[in-house]
């Protein structure tokens, strides 16, 4: 059991992840997809170190009406929807209600895409080695929705990379992706933020700035 933070902040975590990915993988100019907002500072360091391309991949939870913290499913960039069908049946949530909830969340994803990308189009995923990055995995539900959505766009390879995860979530992803890289799987897990000295919220401005920096480095590199 770890009783102290493992990382100074997300930048430190990203650099450590980049070191491990560089040593253990032969990934030539991978496409590094960050889950905003917390995954972006981590992914920026990986893309910079591995000379990859940085982009974002949005996933948002669909909450149960009246119990929004309870995840009924999720929607990812490109309109891909993942629903917990058993929970929907148990709560007797109709198809009409599901479609209404989906539309609301989809509009929010599109708003955030415009906010973060500004005029940049999403980078193509087909036939690329893709690294999906977040600042940690607790249940892994959000990342799983991202994986399923990315798979529909025919990548050559999918790697999930996170600084810290619950052991159960890390094991689960071995069934869904080509590789899962979790630097640490502390037990008991507590929460992602417990393992960072600085886990302050990543802002929308920081997301835009890092995407701009990555785009400039690509042009000048």
pLDDT digits (tens, 9 = 90+) for 41-52: 999 999 999 999
Tally of residues, the chain: 221
**Lowest mean per-residue pLDDT among 134-138, 157-161, 181-185, 187-191:** 187-191
- Say if residue 171 is exposed, middle or buried (CB neighbours under 10 Å; 0-12, 13-18, 19+): middle
Which residues have a Cβ under 8 Å from the Cβ of 62 and sit 6 or more positions away?
71, 72, 73, 74, 75, 81, 83, 98, 101, 102, 105
What is the percentage of the chain residues whose pLDDT exceeds 70? 97
Q: CA-to-CA distance for 53 and 32, rounded, in angstroms? A: 6
We find that the CATH architecture of domain 10-59+119-220 is 3-Layer(aba) Sandwich (3.40)
Contact 63, 167 (CB under 8 A): no
Contact 198, 9 (CB under 8 A): yes
Average pLDDT over residues 184-211: 94
- Where exactly are the structural domains of the chain? 10-59+119-220, 60-117
pLDDT for 205 beyond 60: yes
Q: CA-to-CA distance for 112 and 124, rounded, in angstroms? A: 19
Q: What class has domain 60-117?
A: alpha beta
Interstrand relation of 59-64 and 31-34 (parallel, antiparallel or unpaired)? unpaired
Q: CA-to-CA distance for 57 and 59, rounded, in angstroms? A: 7
**What integer best gives the mean pLDDT of the chain?**
91
The pLDDT value recorded for residue 169 is 92
Q: CA-to-CA distance for 14 and 46, rounded, in angstroms? A: 6
Instruction: Read off the pTM.
Output: 0.88
pLDDT digits (tens, 9 = 90+) for 145-169: 899 889 989 999 999 999 999 999 9
Same topology, domains 10-59+119-220 and 60-117? Answer is no
pLDDT digits (tens, 9 = 90+) for 62-105: 988 888 878 888 888 878 888 888 889 999 999 999 999 999 99
The pLDDT value recorded for residue 21 is 93
pLDDT digits (tens, 9 = 90+) for 16-32: 999 999 877 777 789 99
């Amino acid at each position: 059991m770890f009783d102290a933070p493992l990382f100074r902040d997300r930048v430190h975590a990203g650099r450590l992840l980049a070191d491990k990915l560089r040593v253990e993988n032969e990934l030539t100019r991978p496409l590094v997809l960050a889950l905003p907002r917390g995954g972006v500072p981590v992914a920026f360091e990986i893309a910079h170190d591995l000379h990859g391309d940085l982009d974002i991949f949005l996933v948002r939870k669909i909450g149960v009406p009246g119990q929004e913290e309870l995840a009924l499913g999720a929607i990812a960039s490109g309109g891909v929807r993942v629903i917990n069908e058993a929970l929907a049946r148990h709560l007797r949530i109709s198809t009409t209600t599901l479609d209404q909830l989906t539309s609301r969340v989809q509009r929010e994803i599109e708003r955030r895409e415009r906010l973060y990308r500004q005029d940049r189009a999403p980078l193509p995923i087909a036939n690329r080695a893709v690294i999906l990055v977040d600042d940690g995995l607790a249940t892994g539900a959000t990342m799983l929705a991202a994986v399923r959505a990315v798979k529909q766009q025919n990548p050559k390879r999918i790697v999930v990379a996170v600084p810290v995860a619950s052991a159960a979530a890390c094991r689960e992803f071995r069934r869904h992706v080509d590789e899962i890289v979790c630097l640490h799987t502390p037990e008991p897990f507590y929460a992602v933020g417990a393992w960072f000295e600085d886990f302050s919220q990543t802002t929308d401005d920081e997301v835009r700035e890092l995407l701009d920096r990555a785009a400039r480095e690509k042009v000048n590199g």
